Amino acid sequence: MLKVDEVRKSYATAEGRVSVLGGVSLALGAGESLALTGESGSGKSTLLHLIAGLDAVDGGEITVAGQPLSGLGDAGRAGLRRGHIGLVFQQFNLIPSLDVAANLSFQARLACRHDRDWTAHLAEALGLTPLLQRYPEQLSGGQQQRVAIGRALAARPALILADEPTGNLDEGSSDAVMGLMLALVARAGASLLMVTHSDRLAALLDRRLHLRAGRIQS
């Protein structure tokens, strides 16, 4: 489902170019879950953004669902995200002008894969059914996070990328939301790559890799 081969990325700064990723390789099979851990600044979020096609690599190759990203332009990468990737970020990124129901179905409608029954199941499983007519500003942080997870899963993507998906929640809420997300990812048959600082949450996934100073540590 996902192959990352010797990916390198650096950014220009006032002091010169700074390497963020120095040759990262990993693979993720269909239906598999992988936790990516590491200190702040180790390159975890940068790698997720590259896999999502939100930025381009300096070297190496990323292949998603058999499609090398290097051969795609901006429109091609956007199409790959719509069709194959669900994104769950710590900042939620809900659309403030849309209610919960519309936020949940937004990605699926873009992908032309809106399934009313599946979306209703997600809303029920995530405890959102009573909140469908509310707007993001009327929700708690935990409720917004549940909407973000539901939106990512609504189009039944092959790959879920989650960047600290419960980072804004307390431990009790974090465990509850994480359990729901893993159950729904499994039911959707999706692969999951999750960035987390939490050893406790990382232990819930099939495998774990540690990123340090832009390189995978064994």
pLDDT in tens, the chain (218 residues): 999 999 999 998 888 899 999 999 999 999 999 999 998 888 999 999 999 999 999 999 999 989 999 989 999 999 999 889 999 987 888 999 999 999 999 999 988 999 999 999 999 989 999 999 999 999 998 899 899 999 999 999 999 999 988 877 778 878 888 888 899 899 888 999 999 988 899 999 999 999 998 999 86
Structure tokens at 70: 């290097």
- H or E element, residue 148: helix 141-154
Q: What is the pLDDT of residue 213?
A: 87
Side-chain-side CA neighbours of residue 173 (13 Å): 14
Task: For residues 91 and 85, give the distance between their C-alpha atoms in angstroms, rounded to a whole number.
Answer: 18
Q: What is the pLDDT of residue 218?
A: 60
* Long-range pairs of 202-209 with CB within 8 A, sequence gap ≥ 24: 202/35, 202/37, 203/35, 204/35, 204/178, 205/33, 205/34, 205/35, 206/32, 206/33, 206/34, 207/32, 207/33, 207/34, 207/35, 208/34, 208/35, 208/36, 208/37, 209/26, 209/34, 209/35, 209/36, 209/37
- 2-217 CATH choice from 3.40.50.720, 3.40.50.11540, 2.40.50.140, 3.40.50.300: 3.40.50.300
Instruction: Tell me the pTM.
Output: 0.91
The proportion of the chain whose per-residue pLDDT surpasses 90, expressed as a percent, equals 67
Within 10 A of 23 (CB to CB), how many other CB atoms are there?
Answer: 14
Structure tokens at 128: 């959102």
- H or E element, residue 63: strand 59-64
Q: What is the pLDDT of residue 48?
A: 94
Angle of the 116-125 helix axis to the 100-110 helix axis, nearest 10 = 140
